[in-house]
């Protein structure tokens, strides 16, 4: 009897599970995207959809304890969740329906966001011509930022395969979850608020707020209305009101504003969406303040690349190319070219002009190649800019090897043939076309660590434009860069001033070897910053191998077998050294800022320091940037600048771009720049925009900018001392 009862119970249990199985399998929820902080899924209220139907889906985020994500207005920092949809033809997706946020204090900031489980509903519309029996796939790419004491950007891909039917089929569990989330969304308030001025504060009147309400808080959609971290004192009475602190970058572009008002009523936390009418005088004052706000750039030229027109960018690029010739990394190469002109000027002016044009061809070819690489990588989403190739330690080491070989060639340690020689002794021969072309290429390569005035704005404009617009800007830079050498080759009067060839040319040629060696030493130091001691070892091995290979080719001249053997052994040595370099010159962590002087840059650190009321100086730099290093020596490391920064409470942050860093590249792009240096001074007010300093710094420029950022002039004696220096 008991055995029969057991069989019947087991049979009925299996049957019940079998009947439930279809509903369990059909639950319309995507595969989860998980991290130690968030588990996210895409949930659909329908398993089957009908033509023309509107139904709800939701992105569900289950946050780990102490972690939070962000509302539409994230508050003092953060980014709201975003969803990009890939839907069948004719289908549309609405906006995210945001739950009521909460104020999350992360000292000293306050963020607006969510903790625990967050359900973000979105309405999907099925096209009316959808045919029953067809599939209806939903695909979404979502990005969100989760923060505790640190912030981590995350993303996920979600997919749901629904079907089209004659009638829709709801998923009971998913529908209940989504409907519960929609029911909890803030409902429109039954009254309108009024926003006015109250002795410099903002008074938000709430005439229809129920009596007995406690702990109200207003979350504005605009992030330029109030100080998010400030308290919101509540005044009950016949016309209840909240006192809000005006944002330092206060802006009220419309006569109405919207947001969410949360409050506690009868022990229950409630939320409504509120629309408020702003006092016309407040709107007018906001507009006047925006119009009369002083320009933040104290130099008579635009520094934001995005603000330029094409013609202005072309002029800036051409001027920047001209000035680039004066940079210390370029002058030695140009001197070599001038030496070549001196050797042939009194023999054949036609040959000098020919070499000038060929030099121009080398410059244009190399600039075009660099432009193509920058544009192509930019189109693929990589954050690169001027000098990007020097972020690769193997390429830095290769350039150092080239500099050493050029120096040895100029000293006469070896000759690179006589028929196709390019540098040193070969410039005197009639086969100097190859040399002129290679000199043009080399001049561009060694110029990339430098950024001249005017050039940064032009490059920033170029990298934000379509390829057809960006390429002419790069070519204008190339023409300006090549102009002095080409003009010299076509100027008979200047050529006649050159002395006749003699022993002085040999001495001068040998002297030019030492700037080449100095450049090689600097490049090896850059490799050490990028890769540490292993980078230095790789560079020295590469120099040794290159020197040995050149010597071996020289001593095996003669019969064909000797040349082949020498070349083969040299090739093996070079390949082995190349393999060793690539294996050891691995980009590492950029050098940390020295304790007590600078901090590592991050957007979050800037926001935190501004929230503390501290002015912030940000130095976007790189070890391979000659202009950056010059500014360090001339201005940034000066004692009077350090004293002024200390007296004014300036926080000094350094964004080191020596190795590739996507966040720094994104920040540069956001400021309309394609490379370093970039110097920003943030005032000591939360979310206040920065002042952009010139690319060539001085002590006076830095101290004056520090005064403006701090809003506190330093003593006149200090100002006079800084001016004298």
Domain count, the chain: 4
In the predicted model, what is the mean pLDDT of residues 482-488? Answer: 80
Quick check: 15 pLDDT over 80? no
**Is 559 a member of any domain?**
no
Cβ atoms of 442 and 562 within 8 Å: the answer is no
**Is 114 a member of any domain?**
yes
CATH of the domain at 258: 2.60.40
Which residues make beta-bridge pairs with 268? 265
Quick check: 50 pLDDT over 50? yes
In the predicted model, what is the mean pLDDT of residues 297-318? Answer: 55
Which stretch of DSSP H or E encloses residue 640?
A: helix 639-648
643/626 same-domain check:
yes
690/617 same-domain check:
yes
Categorize the per-residue pLDDT at 188 as very low, low, confident or very high, splitting at 50, 70 and 90.
Answer: very high
The DSSP-derived string for 661-704 is -HHHHHHHHHTT-SSS-EEEEE-SSTTPPPEEPPSS--HHHHHH
426/278 same-domain check:
no
- Which structure tokens are listed for 234? 């509540």
In the predicted model, what is the mean pLDDT of residues 187-214? Answer: 89
Q: What are φ and ψ of residue 66, in 5° steps?
A: 75, -5
What's the rounded Cα separation, in Å, for the pair 163 and 48?
A: 5
**Is 568 a member of any domain?**
no
**Is 561 a member of any domain?**
no
**Is 274 a member of any domain?**
yes
In the predicted model, what is the mean pLDDT of residues 665-690? Answer: 78
Query: Which domain covers residue 216, as residue numbers?
Result: 193-292
End-to-end CA distance of the chain: 107
DSSP collapsed to 3 states, 54-120: EEEEEEEEEECCCCEEEEEEEECCCCCCEEEEECCCCCEECCCCCCCCEEEEECCEEEEEECCEEEE
CATH of the domain at 676: 3.40.30.10
Give per-residue pLDDT as tens, 312-333. 778 877 887 777 776 655 666 6
**Is 135 a member of any domain?**
yes
175/240 same-domain check:
no
Q: Counting Cβ atoms within 10 Å, is residue 692 exposed (0-12), middle (13-18) or buried (19+)? A: buried
- Which structure tokens are listed for 94? 């609405």
Longest Cα–Cα distance of the chain, Å, equals: 124
117/218 same-domain check:
no
Question: Of 340 and 152, which is predicted with more confidence?
Answer: 152
What's the rounded Cα separation, in Å, for the pair 646 and 641?
A: 9
276/129 same-domain check:
no
Cβ atoms of 649 and 614 within 8 Å: the answer is yes
Quote the distance between the C-alpha of residue 33 and its chain's center: 27
Quick check: 505 pLDDT over 80? no
- What separation in angstroms does the CA of 459 have from each of 232, 462, 674, 709? 45, 5, 6, 27
> 109-114 and 102-106 as β-strands: parallel, antiparallel, unpaired?
antiparallel
Question: Of 554 and 404, which is predicted with more confidence?
Answer: 404
In the predicted model, what is the mean pLDDT of residues 602-631? Answer: 82
Mean of the per-residue pLDDT values of the chain: 76
625/692 same-domain check:
yes
448/507 same-domain check:
yes
> 151-164 and 46-49 as β-strands: parallel, antiparallel, unpaired?
parallel
155/232 same-domain check:
no
Is cis: bond before 677, omega within 30 of 0?
yes
Quick check: 516 pLDDT over 80? no
CATH of the domain at 139: 2.60.40.1250
Cβ atoms of 648 and 437 within 8 Å: the answer is no
261/313 same-domain check:
no
The DSSP-derived string for 151-203 is EEEEEEEEEEEEEE-SS-EE-HHHHHHHHHHHHTSPEEPSS-EEEEEETTEEE
Give per-residue pLDDT as tens, 680-706. 999 887 667 788 898 888 888 899 899
Output the CA torsion sign for 264, 266, 269, 275: negative
Percent of the chain exceeding pLDDT 70 equals 70
Quick check: 71 pLDDT over 90? yes
Question: Of 664 and 87, which is predicted with more confidence?
Answer: 87
- Domain edge (last residue) among 129, 158, 185: 185
- Domain edge (last residue) among 185, 215, 246: 185
312/284 same-domain check:
no
Tell me, what's the pLDDT at 194? 92
Quick check: 351 pLDDT over 50? yes
- 197: CB partners within 8 A, 6+ apart: 203, 279, 281, 282, 285
Tell me, what's the pLDDT at 294? 35
Quick check: 296 pLDDT over 60? no
Strands (E), 472-628: 599-600, 616-621
**Is 375 a member of any domain?**
yes
363/493 same-domain check:
yes
Least confident of 17-26, 160-169, 197-206, 623-632: 17-26
**Is 533 a member of any domain?**
no
- Domain edge (last residue) among 512, 532, 563: 512
Give per-residue pLDDT as tens, 582-598. 665 555 444 443 334 67
The DSSP-derived string for 295-307 is PS--SSS---GGG
Categorize the per-residue pLDDT at 63 as very low, low, confident or very high, splitting at 50, 70 and 90.
Answer: very high
Tell me, what's the pLDDT at 470? 72
Three-class DSSP category at 436 = helix
Question: Of 722 and 480, which is predicted with more confidence?
Answer: 480
Quote the distance between the C-alpha of residue 416 and its chain's center: 43
């Amino acid at each position: 009897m008991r055995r029969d009862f057991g069989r019947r119970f087991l049979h009925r249990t299996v049957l019940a599970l079998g009947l439930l199985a279809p509903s369990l399998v059909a639950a319309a929820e995507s595969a989860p995207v998980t991290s130690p902080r968030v588990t996210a899924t895409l949930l659909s209220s329908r398993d089957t959809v009908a033509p023309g139907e509107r139904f709800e889906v939701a992105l569900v985020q289950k946050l780990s304890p102490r972690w939070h994500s962000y509302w539409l207005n994230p508050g003092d920092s953060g980014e709201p969740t975003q969803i990009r949809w890939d839907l069948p033809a004719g289908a549309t997706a609405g906006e995210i329906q945001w739950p009521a946020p909460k104020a999350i204090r992360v000292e000293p900031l306050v963020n607006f966001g969510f903790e625990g489980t967050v359900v973000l509903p979105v309405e999907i519309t099925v096209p009316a011509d959808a045919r029953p029996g067809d599939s209806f796939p939903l695909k979404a790419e979502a990005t969100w930022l989760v923060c505790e004491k640190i912030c981590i950007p995350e993303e996920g891909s979600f997919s749901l395969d629904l079907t089209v039917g004659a009638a829709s089929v709801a998923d009971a569990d998913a529908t209940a979850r989504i409907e519960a989330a929609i029911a909890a969304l803030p409902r429109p308030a039954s009254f309108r608020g009024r926003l006015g001025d109250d002795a410099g504060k903002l008074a938000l009147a709430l005439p229809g707020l129920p009596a007995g309400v406690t702990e109200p808080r207003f979350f504005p959609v605009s992030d330029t209305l109030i100080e998010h971290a400030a308290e919101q004192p509540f005044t009950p009475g016949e016309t209840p009101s909240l006192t809000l602190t005006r944002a330092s970058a206060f802006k009220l572009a419309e006569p109405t504003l919207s947001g969410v008002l949360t409050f506690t009523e009868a022990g229950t936390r409630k939320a409504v969406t509120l629309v408020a009418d702003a006092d016309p005088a407040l709107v007018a004052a906001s507009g006047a303040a925006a119009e009369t706000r002083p320009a933040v750039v104290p130099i008579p030229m635009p520094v934001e690349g995005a603000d330029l027109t094409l013609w202005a960018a072309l002029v800036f690029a051409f001027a920047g190319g001209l000035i680039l010739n004066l940079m210390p990394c370029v002058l030695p190469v140009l001197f070599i070219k001038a030496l070549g002109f001196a050797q042939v000027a009194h023999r054949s002016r036609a040959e000098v002009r020919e070499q000038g044009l060929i030099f121009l061809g080398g410059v244009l070819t190399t600039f075009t190649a660099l432009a193509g690489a920058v544009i192509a990588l930019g189109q693929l989403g990589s954050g690169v800019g001027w000098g990007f190739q020097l972020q690769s330690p193997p390429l830095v080491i290769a350039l150092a090897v080239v500099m050493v070989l050029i120096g040895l060639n100029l000293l006469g340690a070896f000759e690179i043939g006589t028929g196709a020689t390019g540098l040193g002794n070969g410039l005197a021969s009639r086969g100097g076309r190859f040399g002129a072309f290679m000199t043009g290429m080399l001049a561009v390569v060694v110029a990339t660590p430098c950024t001249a005035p005017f050039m940064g704005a032009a490059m920033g404009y170029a990298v934000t434009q379509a390829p057809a617009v960006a390429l002419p800007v790069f070519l204008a830079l190339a023409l300006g860069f090549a102009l002095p050498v080409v003009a010299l080759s076509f100027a008979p009067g200047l050529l006649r001033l050159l002395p006749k060839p003699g022993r002085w040319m040999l001495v001068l040629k040998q002297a030019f070897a030492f700037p080449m060696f100095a450049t090689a030493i600097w490049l090896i130091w850059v490799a050490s910053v990028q890769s540490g001691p292993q980078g230095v070892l790789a560079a020295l091995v590469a120099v040794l191998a290159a020197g040995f290979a050149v010597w071996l080719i020289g001593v095996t001249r003669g019969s064909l077998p000797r040349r082949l053997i020498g070349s083969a052994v040299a090739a093996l040595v070079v390949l082995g050294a190349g393999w060793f370099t690539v294996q050891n010159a691995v980009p590492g962590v950029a050098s940390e800022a020295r304790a007590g002087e600078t901090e590592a840059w991050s957007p979050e650190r800037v926001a935190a320091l501004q929230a503390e009321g501290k002015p912030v100086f940000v130095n976007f730099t790189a070890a391979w940037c000659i202009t950056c290093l010059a500014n360090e020596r001339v201005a940034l490391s000066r004692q009077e600048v350090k004293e002024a920064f200390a007296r004014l409470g300036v926080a000094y942050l350094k964004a080191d771009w020596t190795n590739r860093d996507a966040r720094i590249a994104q920040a540069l792009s956001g400021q309309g720049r394609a490379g370093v240096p970039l110097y920003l001074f943030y005032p000591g007010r939360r979310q206040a925009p920065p002042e952009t300093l010139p690319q060539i710094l001085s002590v006076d420029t830095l101290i004056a900018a520090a005064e403006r950022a701090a809003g506190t002039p330093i003593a006149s004696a200090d100002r006079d001392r800084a001016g004298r220096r």
